[in-house]
Amino acid sequence: MKYPEYKKLDLTQIGKDIGTYWEEHKTFEKSVEIRKEHKPFIFYEGPPSANGTPGIHHVMARAIKDIFCRYKTMKGFLVERKAGWDTHGLPVEISVEKSLGITKEDIGTKISVEDYNKACRKEVMKYKDLWDDLTVKMGYWVDLDNPYITFDNKYIETVWWLLKQLYDKGLIYKGHTIQPYSPAAGTGLSSHELNLPGCYKDVKDNTVVAQFKIVKDSKSDFLFDNVHGELFFLAWTTTPWTLPSNTALSVGAKIDYVKVKTFNPYTHKPVTVILGKDLINKYFPAENAELKINEYEPGQKKIPFKIVDEFKGKELKGINYEQLLPYDQPEDGDGFKVLIGDFVTTDEGTGIVHIAPSFGADDYKVAKENGIGSLTMVNRQGKFIDKMGEFAGRYVRPEYDENYDPKKGDSVDIDIIVKLKKENKAFKTEKYLHSYPHCWRTDKPILYYPLDSWFIKTTAFKDRMIELNNTINWKPKATGIGRFGNWLENLVDWNLSRSRFWGVPLPVWMTKDGKEQKCLGSAEELKAEIEKSIEAGFMNSNPLAEFVPGDNSKKNYETFDFHKPFVDDIILVSDNREKMFREPTLIDVWFDSGAMPYAQFHYPF
């Protein structure tokens, strides 16, 4: 046998020659075919999204994957490799909105949901040819002729089947909680999305220590002995925009608090303030204790102070205070009183926590436990609602504004702080550098926001997952026991809901009163339920009329569409003969693509 002789080392040409040889001799296909009866090595091709062009990082990742598959093949294993395309979710929707010059709010008004989703379906495979070309050029062996596609009805049917398995086991439920929410993307986010690399960024925010005026009554009378001017609680926040939604303050039961006579540094008015004893030196330099209160003159840099009383946090429980920014009143409970919270510390701030139940999980929990109502003064676009007076319609984070210019520093937080200063309600304000979560797709800050969502009860398997994680030979080890291990230790139930348009619809139908639910797990089941609805007079025709159960042909599965808006038009009938409407949410795209081990084979159909 004569081997080819090369006059010079031309790696590019050698690569082309080898690629041509593999293609002509069907080398990849034969490497799989001749091992059909061998022990399989299971490989899952994590699907890329073809609406973006491939980059060098894709080449690197695919080269690493290819090494393992080729190694196992040479060891005699059967290594089948099915290509796939991730076709749902925010990357596609954001790209379509940019190309059409629309926002999420325009969908259903300027453009129909049907036309919008048609644009998404077209957009998502825009660069498929580029991806295929790269795959072949780099010699990445994967079956490109029979890929799985996540928008395909067969794929979605398996996803529905998986969801029904969880539902039947009581592992899917609907709840109202405070969740990470991206106003820029218009949807809630799950905890694992917040833990993606780069989601937490260091930001410099305007902070304020606000003065909450204490109401004098029988509960608080003991605090008013030996006061100097008006009496206030001091509470610190890094998010001044949440102050209009404040409905409570929280203290630590065992924390020591002090009452201090001093002057407000902005209005120079005499005030008496209450804060954590351990934090006294943060706001009052020790040398100023020697200054005499009655000798202070407005404008002096050194402000005198005097500690006049001390008590435990538990003594402050139930004390009322005046609403800081009275734009609206809570209608779902009591408000403006001091609560005990086990999350309160004296590590920073004032030892007194400002509670806005709509914008924090701890806030929501302690408020609910104590019958405290909430105020949600911000809408889902990240703007203040109409009731917010001079601040109405303004973005609570300037980054949400399409015309945002970081050089201008135009922030509603600053204007709120200025208002508080003028009204003798601000004690200290400063810039504060801290880590803040951002949306992984829009790269803009998230909010914690009250949402009705569907959840997977992942916490039911927390201990088992931690146990299994400890059996994995992680390389490097710190990945498994560090970042991933910490995430498991702090696991919360998976927020499955997404308030978008292009994705897998949640297959749950409910009566308007929420008392009856149905979760469907197949096209056959959906067709049968629609027939019942027609008999009850709730629907006139069956959109799955041409679908033949048991026929897995491509043609049969193209006779209907699982996507919005078609699935939303389907009304089912409950066991008590009531109308049932589909829950309008989509599911998290991570569940969608994560179902690939089953859905790529249309299991179990």
What is the Cα–Cα distance from 280 to 275, expressed in whole angstroms? 7
pLDDT of 143: 94
> Is residue 354 a contact partner of residue 235, using CB atoms and an 8 Å limit?
yes
How far apart CA 588 and CA 577 sit, in angstroms, is: 31
DSSP string, 115-139: HHHHHHHHHTTTTHHHHHHHHHHTT
Note the pLDDT of residue 386: 96
Q: What is the C-alpha to C-alpha distance for residues 86 and 52, in angstroms, rounded to an integer? A: 11
Residue with tokens 């504004």: 401
Question: What is the rounded distance in angstroms from the CA atom of residue 322 to the CA atom of residue 248?
Answer: 10
pLDDT on residue 266: 96
- Encoding tokens for residue 577? 């003969």
What SS3 state is found at 437? Answer: strand
Tokens of 459: 């916490």
Buried b / exposed e along 424-439 (16+ C-beta atoms within 10 A): bbbbbbeeeeeebbbb
| The pLDDT of residue 409 | 65
pLDDT in tens, 126-155: 889 999 999 999 999 999 999 999 999 999
Letter string b/e over residues 84-112, b meaning 16 or more CB atoms within 10 A of that residue's CB: bbbbbbbbbbbbbbeebebebeebeeebe
Domains of the chain in start order, with CATH, are 11-88+124-147 (no CATH), 162-183+451-599 (3.40.50.620), 203-431 (3.90.740.10)
Task: For residue 301, give the DSSP letter.
Answer: S
DSSP 3-state of 272: strand
Q: What does pTM read for this prediction? A: 0.80
Those residues with Cβ within 8 angstroms of residue 307's Cβ, 6 or more apart along the chain or in another chain: 258, 259, 260, 280, 289
Measured CA distances, 360 to 152, 320, 494 (Å): 38, 21, 17
User: What is the rounded CA–CA span in Å between residue 151 and residue 130?
Assistant: 20
Strand ranges across the sheet with 571-573: 517-519, 508-510, 579-582, 571-573
* Tokens (6 digits) for 120: 């998404």
Residues 6+ away with beta carbon under 8 Å from 560: 153, 523, 543, 544, 546, 547, 566
CA distances from 532 to 573, 576, 577 (A): 7, 12, 10
Quote the CA–CA distance of 399 and 381 in Å, as a whole number: 12
pLDDT on residue 241:
97
Distance in angstroms (rounded) separating the CA atoms of residues 40 and 79: 6
Measured between alpha carbons, how far is 426 from 269 in angstroms, rounded to an integer? 12
Which segments of the chain have a pLDDT < 70? 409
Sheet with 172-182: list strands edge to edge.
187-188, 172-182, 447-456, 494-495
CB atoms within 10 A of CB 533: 20
Residue 322 to residues 212, 247, 249, 517: CA-CA distances in angstroms?
7, 10, 11, 44
Cα of first residue to Cα of last residue in the chain, in angstroms, is 50
**pLDDT (0 to 100) of residue 440:** 84
